[in-house]
Structure 1
Amino acid sequence: MTFLQMLIDAASVGGLYALTAIGIGLIFGVIGLVNFAYGEYIMVGAYVLLLTAGFYWPVAVLCVLVFVVIFALASDWLVFRQVRRAPPETLMIVSFGLSFMIQYFYVMLFGSLTRTVNFLPEISRGFEVGGLRIAGVSLLQIGATLVLTAALAIFINFTRIGYQMRAVSENPRMARLVGVNSNRIIAAAFAISALLAVTVTVLFVAQTGSMTPFFGVSLTMIGFVATVIGGLGSLPGCALGGFLVGALTTLLQMLLPPDLQPFREAFVFAAVIVVLLVRPRGLIAVRSSLERV
């Protein structure tokens, strides 16, 4: 029974990590950008929920969706588009700078202390099934991850925009020569990644009810780790990496003695190093990433 409880908890935590990893991996797959400001998309959405918590919840979620999509598109248009042809290390530094700028802008607006909001408390209530304690939000996290991963895979493989995304990812210059509007396709990728960020925002806030201007950083780092483990540029790999990191985090929480539990992330990253020593390109390496390397 304890093992089944651990699986449910691991899948729930892994679902959030997987959605974050897919959002990061999607942008990397299209333009080769490791967007370390991605966690700030999740964070700004949380503060929109804070401001709109008094509205009927679909209205609040719609406000978050509109704001975060516009925010993501603005970050691409104002920042990343200007340095799109720069070396990868420059893009990474720019994303770090954007991340810190957004964080401290929100510190000026809301302060650095934790803010709380009671959003959709009914889905956070738990129920028991055969001795297993399950929260409604846990089921939503697992279900949302599976549905969105499948929907995104279908979108990329069977729609015109998806074909064009793959073309831009494989050979941007050739894609432009055959008439693909790269800016529009990249904007679509940012919008889709923002949709994933909104899902993480809603589920995270419903589960924890708290936020700070800095909480997106930890989600970004874990999402990036999951992306690297699964394979940069592989969306199924990103999802797999997220679930594996979630499982490892939950397992360590159960097995580590109380004195070592504050250092759980150190053990997670040590395990990541071991995995990458065995599979340097991740568990599912795609052809485009091999060529890029």
Structure 2
Amino acid sequence: MVLAMSFDMFMQHLLNGISLGSLYALIAIGYTMVYGILRLINFAHGDIFMVAAYFAFYGVSLFSMPWYIAFIAAIIMTGLLGIVIEIAAYRPIRNAPKISILISAIGVSFFLENLGTVIFGGVPKAFPQVDLFTEVIQIGNVSLQRLTIIIPIVTLLLLFGLLYLVNKTKSGMAMRAVSKDHETASLMGVNINKIISLTFALGSILAAVGGIMWGLKFPQIAPLMGIMPGLKCFIAAVIGGIGDIKGAVLGGFILGVGEIMLVAFLPSLSGYRDAFAFILLILILLFKPTGIMGEKIAEKV
């Protein structure tokens, strides 16, 4: 009986860890895509995730949209926001020194956080709950919200769709060309601006899906809600190998499962849950700086 209970508890925590890891993976893909194209860490990515949650929240609560219409509208608006950020904050300084682009990314992050505080207010809001996702289902002796199962499925479907786009379409071929060499790709007829905007839009759409599902899973949103998930998803991208889409997903799953298992089996260390991600980052940088699936990239002189 004890062994059975222990196995059930393990499966409960494992599924929760996979669900959390799937959310990390979605957001980490956005980091890794932008880095793969521009060699830029978009530190505003976690705040785009936050804005998407607010778009969905106001779509349901203020405009009385059905939840599925509000969620789709939020995803589209967040994709457009990603394009606007790229055009306004990154494109004008694309050829500037890397430190200038980094400062711009941090500035965009602070701007979104403070603008969110002014517009949305600093008081956390309760994210709308949908019975379809919150209903508890029973798998053997394990009780789970349906959302816990839906999140990994959505993540895998989006991953396969993205891999198909990158590897099997002309736009994907152009993205891979731009990631290798901007100048050569331009000479071959690739519209660099269009491809980079497409990359930001795709990354922002994935962050939007992650933000909405985060709001459903942890039903409280606030203007600063994207800071810690954003940092953790950046760490997940580094763990898997930043610049590699499948590596970002792997890093997300490792981080999510590791966090949940740490709390589950070492409850005395639950206060160090966030520290786990940073310790893992330090270990990766010490022993495998390019990440699990990353390849060493020579810097251009």
Q: Give the TM-score normalised by structure 2.
A: 0.92
Question: Offset of 1:267 from its aligned partner?
Answer: 2.7
Question: Offset of 1:275 from its aligned partner?
Answer: 2.6
Give the unaligned 5+ runs of structure 2.
1-6
1:268 aligns with 2:277: yes
The number of equivalent residue pairs is 290
Contact 1:121 1:206 in 2 (8 A): no
What amino acid is the match of 2:19?
S
What amino acid is the match of 2:24?
Y
What is the aligned counterpart of 2:236 among 213, 226, 246? 226
Q: Which residue of 1 aligns with 2:52?
A: 45
* 2:226 match: secondary structure: helix
What amino acid is the match of 1:45?
A
What amino acid is the match of 1:257?
P
Q: Which residue of 2 aligns with 1:8?
A: 15
1:151 aligns with 2:173: no
Give the unaligned 5+ runs of structure 1.
none
Question: Offset of 1:10 from its aligned partner?
Answer: 1.1
Q: Which residue of 2 aligns with 1:244?
A: 254
Q: Which residue of 2 aligns with 1:254?
A: 264
Identify the range of structure 1 (87-96 vs 64-73) with the bigger mean alpha-carbon deviation.
87-96
Cα distance per residue 1:47-83 (max 9 Å; x no partner): 1112111311221012202211121111011111011
* 1:114 match: secondary structure: coil
1:24 aligns with 2:31: yes
1:283 aligns with 2:276: no
Identity %: 30
What is the aligned counterpart of 1:81 among 91, 99, 106? 91
Question: Offset of 1:207 from its aligned partner?
Answer: 1.4
Q: Which runs of 4+ in 1 moved over 3 A?
A: none
Question: Offset of 1:27 from its aligned partner?
Answer: 0.8
Cα distance between partner residues in 1 of 2:208 and 2:84:
16
What amino acid is the match of 2:291?
G
Q: Which residue of 2 aligns with 1:135?
A: 145
Q: Which residue of 1 aligns with 2:3?
A: none
Report the RMSD for the aligned CA atoms in angstroms.
Answer: 1.4
Cα distance between partner residues in 1 of 2:93 and 2:163:
28
Equivalent residue runs for 1:196-235 within 5 Å: 196-235=206-245
What amino acid is the match of 1:137?
L
